[in-house]
Amino acid sequence: MVSLTEIPKGQWTTHLCRQIRDAIRGGALRPGVRLPSTRALAKDLRLSRGVVVNVYEQLTAEGYLKPSAGSATRVAHEFLLKTGSEPVCIHRIGPFVEHNPGLPDPGQFPRTDWLRAYRTALKKLSDTDLCYGDPQGFEPLRTELSDYLGRVRGVIAKPEQLLVISGYAQGVAVVAQILLGCGIDAVAVEEPGSTGIRHQLVDWGVTTPPVAVDERGLSVLALRATGARAVLTTPAHHYPTGFVLAPDRRHQLLNWVHEGPHYIVEDDYDAEFRYDHAPISSLQPLAPERIITGSSVSKTLTPSLRLGWLVLPPQLIEQAVRVKISMDLGTPTPSQAAFTEFLRTGAFDRHLRRSRRHYRIRRERIAERLLQFLNPSVLTGTEAGLNICIRIDKHVDDQAISDELRSIGSCCRPLSHYYQHEPQRGLILDVATTQSTHLDHLQRLLTSATRQSH
């Protein structure tokens, strides 16, 4: 703060208010910054504490500061800060990546086991391992992943065919550039389907013709009509409906991939969380020269690890590694080494068994409550995964209902959000976080909305 010794005593409060106000507007004091206590600031400026108290109270009334009982006074979050202008009220944007339905319960993350694996991994790493690592991925991890994917998903891949990526989102970026390099600038996507993945492809200059999905999965007839030479699909567990690609559709899709030749990009999403029977096998072994498959630990452990993998046909791996190098030189080695230990010791398998039990119980409770006021025919995705899809009347505004639910803390999305054209109406609920109070509110909202639509 500037010295107040040359300011007339009667103007100290006004001057100090202006100094703090200008500092906030100019960005020197950012939202959330902790200010000194009134006693400490008064001592630093050699003022009476009463002057500083009056200043803080005035700025709080104007909305610049936000006091907290028993804690410090901080700069308020609710204002856009512009030098020389009056504060403009805005809404906080919140996290850049919103929590979509279908993420794991953060409380289920195996902190103790992961810490043990991390410590063991760090002890084993050589000094050389702590330099820039192999951009294709930590070799011991690729070996463990090769064994794991073969055992659990039926994937046939040598460690040399694996690329470790920083989450499946990076995998989509890698695949987009590979396909563009092959002269493929259109990738058909499921309708409904992941909006985030579609936006990523578009950002890389790839068009995304939609392909209808019904209760038997992707329509290969509709795929043929697009003329696309590649398709991105979730055959084991479609997001967001939960449908599984039927056996005859699998055969049709494999016929299509060999005719072009074409490529299938298999998002092996949620494959580990199957509750009614064993997980559906990957498509990759049926056409390993034409199928790129990938997944991550975002749904099984936590998305914050940013750790995933792609299994690529041999002819594409070199190009994929070049793209990965251009992005980040490689995924961090310590986290790769920790996941290696997690796989090697069986800790990952044990975690998945515990998680399946946890989510099965939650899913059953949610479904039981939903069936008290919904017809079973409108529910899909209850057999697997971490989300449940509810179909609702086409005249009901699913966005409005979703917004209402999100306002009380529910992680919910409107089904229409996942369409490019002619959206159907519905709601996607999160298995991990949906509470009974959310379902009670949902019942009231649907009852009222259905009554009004008729």
Establish if 69 belongs to a structural domain: yes
Domain count, the chain: 3
| Residue in this structure with the two tokens 């294709």, named with its chain if needed | 136
Task: Count CB atoms within 10 A of the CB of residue 133.
Answer: 21
> What CATH number does residue 409 fall under?
3.90.1150.10
Establish if 377 belongs to a structural domain: yes
Q: Are residues 247 and 328 located together in one domain of the fold? A: yes
Separation between Cα atoms, residue 72 and residue 67, nearest integer Å: 6
Separation between Cα atoms, residue 254 and residue 249, nearest integer Å: 9
Establish if 100 belongs to a structural domain: no
Establish if 232 belongs to a structural domain: yes
Establish if 103 belongs to a structural domain: no
> What CATH number does residue 149 fall under?
3.40.640.10
Residues 6+ positions from 274 with CB-CB distance below 8 Å:
237, 280, 383, 384
Establish if 94 belongs to a structural domain: no
Q: Are residues 206 and 256 located together in one domain of the fold? A: yes
138 compared with 44, residue with greater pLDDT: 138
Question: Could you list the residue range(s) of the whole structural domain that residue 14 is in?
Answer: 9-89
Establish if 99 belongs to a structural domain: no
70 compared with 97, residue with greater pLDDT: 70
pTM: 0.78
Q: C-alpha angle 286/291/294, rounded to 5°?
A: 110
- Structure-block tokens of residue 45: 């400026």
Express each pLDDT in 358-388 by its tens digit.
999 999 999 999 999 999 999 998 888 899 9
Helical residues (DSSP H) of 275-417, grouped into ranges: 314-328, 333-344, 347-370, 398-407
Q: Are residues 241 and 276 located together in one domain of the fold? A: yes
Express each pLDDT in 296-309 by its tens digit.
999 999 999 999 99
Amino acid symbol at 188: A
Domain ends where: 25, 58, 89? 89
User: Which among 241, 290, 240, 285 has a CA at the least distance from the CA of 261?
Assistant: 290
Q: Are residues 413 and 279 located together in one domain of the fold? A: no
Q: Are residues 381 and 248 located together in one domain of the fold? A: no
Q: Are residues 361 and 343 located together in one domain of the fold? A: no
- Structure-block tokens of residue 295: 């997944």
Establish if 211 belongs to a structural domain: yes
Percent of the chain topping pLDDT 70? 92
> Do residues 253 and 246 touch, judged by C-beta distance below 8 A?
no
pLDDT at 149: 94
Average pLDDT score over the chain? 89
pLDDT at 90: 36
H or E element in which residue 231 lies = strand 230-233
Q: Are residues 266 and 389 located together in one domain of the fold? A: no
SS3 125: coil
pLDDT at 81: 41
Q: Are residues 83 and 221 located together in one domain of the fold? A: no
* Highest-scoring range by mean pLDDT, 57-61, 101-105, 173-177: 173-177
Confidence of residue 18 (pLDDT cuts 50, 70, 90): confident
Q: Are residues 293 and 275 located together in one domain of the fold? A: yes
> Do residues 172 and 192 touch, judged by C-beta distance below 8 A?
no
Q: Are residues 154 and 279 located together in one domain of the fold? A: yes
Q: Are residues 332 and 434 located together in one domain of the fold? A: no
Express each pLDDT in 312-325 by its tens digit.
999 999 999 999 99
Separation between Cα atoms, residue 61 and residue 73, nearest integer Å: 13
Q: Residue 5 has what DSSP assignment?
A: T
Residues 6+ positions from 20 with CB-CB distance below 8 Å:
29, 55, 59, 64, 65
pLDDT at 58: 87
Q: Are residues 315 and 438 located together in one domain of the fold? A: no
| Residue in this structure with the two tokens 């914050």, named with its chain if needed | 304
> Do residues 429 and 387 touch, judged by C-beta distance below 8 A?
yes
> What CATH number does residue 48 fall under?
1.10.10.10
Q: Residue 279 has what DSSP assignment?
A: P
Domain ends where: 54, 89, 124? 89
